[in-house]
Structure 1
Amino acid sequence: MSAGVGQPFEALASGNSIKKALCIGLMSGTSLDGVDGVLLDLAGPGVHVLAQASLPFEPTFRAELLSLNIASYNELHRAALAGNRIAAAYAQVVHQLIQQAQNLDLNATDVLAIGAHGQTVRHQPQRWSEAAMGAGYTLQLNNPALLAELTGITVVADFRSRDVAAGGQGAPLVPAFHQQVFSQPGVTVAVLNLGGIANLSVLPGQASDPVLGFDCGPGNALMDAWCLQQTGQPFDQGGAWAASGQCLPDLLARLLDEPYFSQPLPKSTGRDLFNSDWLQDKLQGFTNAPAQDVQATLTELTASACADCISSYAKESKRLIVCGGGAFNHHLLQRLQAHLAGIPVSTSDQDGLPPLEVEAAAFAWLAYQTMHHKPGNLPSVTGAAGRRILGAIYPA
């Protein structure tokens, strides 16, 4: 049974003193490639990664998660089993992190909490009907009670639902963390997370100005899906396959003719929209196009959509920091830089946080916020009615 965030933290801690401000963050994103985990020390200014671990999803489990993204047979039962399996995978990553931490004379009892994002399989924050007494929702598969049982550490989960309940998108939640670690006084900085979906954070140089953040559209999701279908490889290593092809202007125009791209802020999206069915519909009439040309066009779609967002909302940025798996797609970064000639593009490891650790670190930070009764959302990003303490707490 989860403890509500309104319950005093002292009661949740059961009288045990917290030796360090250590939190674990676990992230399995829309790329569906596996679990990334970090152990963070948040005791002082900034964030300090003490350990990092990852665990790939088996191809059959990845396929199951993809199938649960759409209405399918017996999905409630299958979703529950998938949630259990995700919790078990999360626990494996936690044990890896604790093993590494033992070299630093730390153990599980030193960890304040685990922030467990879960695996998003539905994201419908805008489907609201007053007549039906309904509201939008977002659904992440997980079993945080099982994770707490397997690790013996307090778990914070279901971060997005409270923001949605307050009228927000529930996503993206990482801009608040980006503000903590990447903002620079007097300088506007843009941060682009290239996961399955691409999301942008615009960090103003003046503290009085609001942070902006939203989903730009597809990140790696469509590129990965096409690469797997055509080559059997889960992703285009370094973007080399796309670089061998030519962008198809007519196909690119059709891909960009998607109403989501012109929607006003706040907005968020996911595989509910940008999935293989969406792509197959757009590919009608291009069945004879070389596969590598389609891949080049999908890469250009991501680069163009993200660059348009930066030009519209972050044109004063002095730099673009890229994180997520897409940071390793060299061809994609080159295309981004070509669109943004006046804004230097670099990856987050130049700022001391490797690209694959940023999102997991964000959920460690969000767990820390929750455990200290501090809000984790930004209404300027999600459109929520106000700042809210996010997540439900499952005591150790």
Structure 2
Amino acid sequence: MGLMSGTSTDGVDGVLAQLSDSITVQAYASQPLPAELRKELLALNTPGPNELARTALAANTLADCYADVVSSLLTQSGLTAANIHAIGAHGQTVRHVPEAGYTLQINAPARLAERTGIAVVADFRSRDVAAGGQGAPLVPAFHAARFGADAGRVVLNLGGIANLTLLDSPIRGFDTGPANMLMDAWVQQHRGVAYDHDGAWAAQGRCDAALLDALMSEPWLALPPPKSTGRDLFNPDWLRVRLDALPTRPAPADVQATLLQFSVATIAQALHRHAPDTREILACGGGALNPVFMHTLAQALPCRLTTTAEFGVPVQCVEALAFAWLAQAHVLGQPACLPAVTGARHATIAGCLYPA
């Protein structure tokens, strides 16, 4: 099984996978995060009072959500815990500063193993960071295993952060910047909803050229791979500083439209700089379900844009499936963090095992 709660912090996706000669999804389940837990996880991205206790309690609650998704997958499939080799559970990233030698994912894998009676593999990033790597992206090796090592083909994950896997030789991958993260935060602030459904609000606005220029001037965007990012950089305060510097603040809908264009522009820029021969992009993640996002992206790209669903994996299943695959790689003792992706000194076996 694979479980994923990503930087969008909207819910838990889980898959039950058969991993043998092929990589197939047997069952899929999703559960929204409780509102109070989501609020706390977002708050823990920045320093605050009593962080140690709050983090431990949030980890326990998240593990309970994970356990509920595991139960749903077992019910769907008619299997029992004894039929499952392991669960790959990523946890919720609240700090990611690999240049300082650490990354932190809130999780309680021992609690999850106790609740489910299934071995759990967790803490997938730390060993790569210890070897001098970014600890991210984690999934390019899985993308290559599932979608083929095919020069000219790229997998694009549109979660909170956007990241690319270039399926050439060697496999490469890196973050490009925000996908949905800033848009989600902005629509929550101004409309009180978790995300901009189908991109409808962004479609009502107009891109503000001055704001887009200010966003695109972020120095991180010019860094060469390997690189990764998250809420430590791209957060509401980062956006506020750039809005405050404008002579005239755009209307909220225009900011949303500009944030969408910003996500698209950073992806297009990264492809132009680092994968100019791309002929086909397979999108996945929540952003792949946003028709305005996908239409705008298709217009900005000089190549074919489709989704992983065309290749047999629904867009909402890809990351959770990746963590099932990473859990298997750990159990088999196979390195899955690639130095060409993360910049580590050598390949590493991802994760730590918590026996059933």
Which TM-score applies when normalising by structure 2?
Answer: 0.98
Say whether residues 1:277 and 2:237 are aligned partners: yes
Match of 1:322 among 269, 283, 299: 283
For residues 108 and 154 of structure 2, the distance between their equivalents in structure 1, rounded to whole angstroms, comes to 34
Counterparts of 1:108 and 1:96, CA distance in 2: 12
Q: What letter is aligned with 2:86?
A: A
Q: Which digits, 9 at most, give the CA deviation of each residue in 1:91-136, with x for residues without a partner? A: 000000011110xxx3211111000000000000012xxxxxxxx1
1:43 corresponds in structure 2 to 20
* Partner SS for 1:38: strand
Aligned ranges 1:84-95 → 2 under 5 Å:
84-95=60-71
Report which stretch shifted further, 175-184 or 269-278: 175-184
Q: Is the 8 A contact 2:2 2:16 kept in 1?
A: yes
CA contact (8 A) 1:240 1:331 kept: yes
Shift of 1:317: 1.6
2:89 is matched with 116
Alignment of 1:14-33 (within 5 A): 24-33=1-10
Whole-angstrom distance in 1 between the partners of 2:287 and 2:206? 20
**CA offset digits 1:182-215 (Å, max 9, x no partner):** 1254x421111011111111111xxxx2111011
Give the one of 58, 64, 81 matched to 1:82: 58
1:291 aligns with one of 249, 252, 258: 252
CA deviations over 1:259-286 (Å, ceiling 9, x no partner):
1100121100000100111111111136
Deviation at 1:389, TM superposition (A): 0.9
Q: How does 1:224-235 map to 2 (within 5 A)?
A: 224-235=184-195
Which of 112, 118, 128 in structure 2 is aligned with 1:163? 128
The number of aligned residues is: 355
SS in 2 for 1:283: helix
Q: What does residue range 209-224 of structure 1 map to in structure 2 within 5 Å?
A: 209-224=169-184
C-alpha distance in 2 between matches for 1:184 and 1:113? 26
Summarize deviations over 1:226-248 as a string: whole Å, max 9, x none: 01111111111111111111100
Is 2:154 aligned against 1:193? Answer: no
Maintained 8 Å contact 2:28/2:317: yes
| Percentage of matched positions with identical amino acids | 53
- The Cα offsets for residues 1-30 of structure 1, whole Å up to 9 and x where unpaired, read as xxxxxxxxxxxxxxxxxxxxxxx0000000
Query: For residues 1-396 of structure 1, what are the structure 2 equivalents within 5 Å?
Result: 24-45=1-22, 47-102=23-78, 106-127=79-100, 136-183=101-148, 185=150, 187-204=151-168, 209-284=169-244, 285=246, 288-340=249-301, 342-396=302-356
Q: Is the 8 A contact 1:324 1:359 kept in 2?
A: yes
Distance, in Å, in 2 between the alignment partners of 1:353 and 1:242 is 28
Separation in 1, partners of 2:247, 2:16? 46
Measured at CA, do residues 143 and 287 of structure 1 come closer, stay the same or move farther in structure 2, by a change above 3 Å?
A: farther
Deviation at 1:288, TM superposition (A): 4.0
Q: Distance in 2 between matches of 1:53 and 1:184?
A: 29
Find the aligned partners of 1:317 and 1:180 in 2 and give their Cα distance: 19
TM-score, normalised to structure 1, is 0.88
Q: Please tell me whether the aligned partners of residues 149 and 171 of structure 2 are also in contact (alpha carbons under 8 angstroms).
A: no
Looking at CA atoms only, which structure, 1 or 2, has the larger radius of gyration? 1
The Cα RMSD (Å) is: 1.0
The CA deviation at 1:310 is: 1.1
One-letter amino acid of the counterpart of residue 224, structure 1 = D
Residues 202, 313 of structure 1: 8 Å contact kept: no
**Offset at 1:81?**
0.3
